[in-house]
Structure 1
Amino acid sequence: MSDPADPAGDQRPRKRVRNYGAGRVALLEAAVRVVARGGLRKLTYRAVAQEAGVTHGLVVHHFGSRDALIEETVTHAIRSSLSVSVLGLGGDGAADFATGLVQMVEAGPDLQAFQYELLLEARRRPELLPHLRALYEEYFETTRGELSRLLPGPPGRGLSRLVFAALEGLVLHQLVFGEREVTEEALTELRELLRALAGESVEHREPGEPEESGGSGEPGEG
């Protein structure tokens, strides 16, 4: 019996695909991967079904319409992004700001790429803006909270946005170019700037030289 979602008489051999699971979350994660590779315009029932290794009809059963598929994929990606964000982890000082950023990108490149695709698509689909704004307002607020904790006075909106934009740009560049070590160097410089703003003593280091961790900094300790 043929799949009712396929054109009648289509007997072409099917490509074997890996089955990631038929549950709703598995389908949403497959949808994120589809968008990360091809943009939101490539998000179709058939593309998700092939990525997840399930039938076209099962994706239709779970979501009912392409608009619902897009809506739920965006919501799922936003929740996932917030859960893995390195902001708001509450380190001891500026030296701990955004630790784990490099690892976050390496662990979930598709999720990060999805957000950039969503940013571009929102220029063409204004209905996506409320979802996107909700995500970024959360990021902005968390950045403001972290800076408030690190700096002697409340940070202005411009400073909070500047710091977040630096982090977002580093994520994008690591996604595109790799160069983990460059990201680490840039984060070191950003932390030095925050330490200076916080009034912490800053020792000069050559570019790329790692920050010291632990110890009181007294001579002879190591």
Structure 2
Amino acid sequence: MADRRKRFGEAALEVVSNGGLRALTHRSVDEAAGLPPGSVNYYAPTRAKLEALALTEAYEQMYAIAIRTFGPILDAADPPTELVLDCTTDFVVAMSAETGLVAARHALVVESQFDDVLREQVATNRTAFVAFTEPFVRSKAPDSPERTAELIVALVEGLIQQQTLVAASNFHRSMIRAAIARIFGFQGG
């Protein structure tokens, strides 16, 4: 059952990534999943549920990228500044290469302003990303690590969106690293 839900989540995200929210229908998700018409209805009987499946998958893919790129510092009590900068830069670069994922997530976040369930899903995942970031800034901002992490998540998210949704071409890695150093409040970069 979980495998099927995952399959539909992947299919829903693929549909939104390739065609936007307008393309998200039960039929398009069934087709993308390679299943007969009506198959997704059990898991997502409404359009809102389809959107929630897509958003869940988007966050799962983002977490996978975060785990991969932050791997070198996940278990470090107080990771070196240079390594934090490198891992965060790797995350921005990796996410910026995922234009469909970022565009779909962005569309779903915009849609969440009109849907309480999606809005809660976005808030829950943002809180998780803040908690993920907090250990990396705890020694740099001991008075307010949670608020600092919250600001960093918002600014990094904005940088990723700029890279994928607005910029004609991506910024050079050294520029991204310097911007991240400033976002974190680190000197140099």
TM-score range, shorter chain: 0.7 to 0.9
Per-residue CA shift, 1:160-182, capped at 9, x if unaligned?
A: 33322221111111112253334
| Cα contact 1:147–1:155 (8 A) shared by 2 | no
Deviation, structure 1 residue 128: 1.4
Structure 2 partner of 1:143: 133
Amino acid paired to 1:95: E
Structure 1 partner of 2:154: 165
Structure 1 partner of 2:26: 45
Structure 1 range deviating more: 27-36 or 50-59: 50-59
TM-score by length of 2: 0.73
Q: How does 1:65-214 map to 2 (within 5 A)?
A: 65-85=46-66, 89=71, 90=73, 92-96=79-83, 97=85, 98-101=88-91, 102-106=93-97, 108-149=98-139, 151=140, 153-176=142-165, 177=167, 179-182=169-172, 184-191=174-181, 194-196=185-187, 202=188
Q: Number of paired residues? A: 175
Q: Which has the higher helix share?
A: 2
Provide the aligned C-alpha RMSD in A. 3.0
RCO higher in structure (CA 8 A, sep ≥6): 2
Give the Cα–Cα distance (whole angstroms) in 2 for the partners of residues 152 and 173 of structure 1. 26
Deviation, structure 1 residue 136: 0.3
| Cα contact 1:174–1:183 (8 A) shared by 2 | no
| Cα contact 2:89–2:173 (8 A) shared by 1 | no
Alpha-carbon spacing, 1:152–1:175, altered in 2? closer, same or farther (3 Å): closer
| Cα contact 2:163–2:171 (8 A) shared by 1 | no
Per-residue CA shift, 1:48-88, capped at 9, x if unaligned?
A: 13334443233335544444433333333333322322675
Higher Rg: 1
Structure 1: 5+ residue stretches without partners: 1-21, 197-201, 203-210, 212-222
Q: What secondary structure is seen at the aligned counterpart in 1 of 2:186?
A: helix
Give the Cα–Cα distance (whole angstroms) in 2 for the partners of residues 110 and 39 of structure 1. 9
Amino acid paired to 1:169: G
TM-score by length of 1: 0.64
Alpha-carbon spacing, 1:126–1:61, altered in 2? closer, same or farther (3 Å): closer
Q: Percent identity?
A: 21
Structure 2: 5+ residue stretches without partners: none
Give the Cα–Cα distance (whole angstroms) in 1 for the partners of residues 179 and 118 of structure 2. 34
Alpha-carbon spacing, 1:88–1:60, altered in 2? closer, same or farther (3 Å): same
Per-residue CA shift, 1:193-212, capped at 9, x if unaligned?
A: 6432xxxxx4xxxxxxxx7x
Give the Cα–Cα distance (whole angstroms) in 1 for the partners of residues 44 and 119 of structure 2. 21
Give the Cα–Cα distance (whole angstroms) in 1 for the partners of residues 169 and 96 of structure 2. 12
Q: How does 1:1-16 map to 2 (within 5 A)?
A: none
| Cα contact 2:8–2:40 (8 A) shared by 1 | yes
Alpha-carbon spacing, 1:146–1:27, altered in 2? closer, same or farther (3 Å): same
Structure 1 range deviating more: 29-38 or 165-174: 29-38
Give the Cα–Cα distance (whole angstroms) in 2 for the partners of residues 45 and 135 of structure 1. 25
